[in-house]
Amino acid sequence: MRAATIVLTFVLTSCGSGNDAMPAIDRRCVALPGRHVAIAPSNAGKQYFPEAFGKPAQVCNFKGYPECFATISRVKNDWYPHHWDAADEPSLYERSLAPVAPGKSALRFTWLPTFHHPVIVRIERSGQEAQLIAKQLSGQGGYEPGKVEREVTRQLSVTEIAKFDAILSSTKVFEQRATECDSGLDGSQWIVEGIDRDGYHFVNRWSPKEGPVRELGDFALLLSGWTFEKRY
């Protein structure tokens, strides 16, 4: 398997800030077994994640005993970029390596449902304006991505920006841990990334039924203007 004057501000504490984008590391990882992951560029040569995401950081008990896992697994380091490449999406991490001008930021929500079409919604902010770029791929989120089958690019209204700001403020999505011990064979990955003057931010969840990532992701999908057979 393979988020009057409106100001949109991305706040992050747990997934790292600055060019190193260092995720929060569970202190228990000092003593527990863990495996490093080599963060490699995508097939298109884009570096979507910082090398620090390959260091053991999250304690999980998948095998009956506690073990440390990297923020991005080897599978996800191939899986997620495979879909972003197919959608011709930029690497937000690479963009974060250059200084971000005041008032500029970006947020990208990626929905990868195992048996349904992947959807990517990116919001580019400049001052009081925000542009939406939404893409749906023809493939399946758990398999081959296919190609872009529909796309919409438009300016968000003042009302939409206000609602989006309110969701970011209430959910504090970027204050969540980058990853959790949630996974499964079938379901969907909900991925939220952001860049601002503090660097690159990342939060990833598997099939969330509620919570910050679910609320923000649902609103991002709503902004696309598309309807979906299932949303899981």
CATH number (domain holding residue 87): 3.30.1560
What's the pLDDT band for 217 if we cut at 50, 70, 90? very high
Tell me how far apart the alpha carbons of residues 5 and 77 are, in angstroms, rounded to a whole number.
39
- Residues 146-197: pLDDT tens digits? 999 999 999 999 999 999 999 999 999 999 999 998 877 789 999 999 999 9
**Residue 188 in 3-state DSSP?**
strand
Tell me how far apart the alpha carbons of residues 78 and 76 are, in angstroms, rounded to a whole number.
5
Tell me how far apart the alpha carbons of residues 231 and 179 are, in angstroms, rounded to a whole number.
21
- Residues 94-126: pLDDT tens digits? 999 999 999 999 999 999 999 999 999 999 999
**Residue 224 in 3-state DSSP?**
helix
- Location of structure tokens 């095998």: 63
**Cα atoms found within 13 Å of the Cα of residue 227, Cβ hemisphere only:** 1
In terms of pLDDT, which residue wins out, 18 or 130? 130
Which residues have C-beta within 8 Å of that of residue 4, sequence separation ≥ 6?
Answer: 162
- Location of structure tokens 């700001």: 165
In 3D space, the residue among 192, 188, 219 whose CA is nearest the CA of residue 1 turns out to be 188
- Whether residue 58 is contained in a domain is answered as no
Share of the chain above pLDDT 90, in %: 79
Report the domain count for the chain.
Answer: 1
Mean of pLDDT values over 13-33: 66
What's the pLDDT band for 22 if we cut at 50, 70, 90? low
Cβ 200 vs Cβ 193: under 8 Å: yes
Which residues, listed in sequence order, are joined to residue 104 by a DSSP beta bridge? Answer: 126
- Whether residue 39 is contained in a domain is answered as no
pLDDT value of position 30: 84
pLDDT value of position 16: 43
Residue ranges making up the domain that contains 149: 75-224
Which segment of 32-36, 75-79, 120-124, 154-158 scores lowest on mean pLDDT?
Answer: 32-36
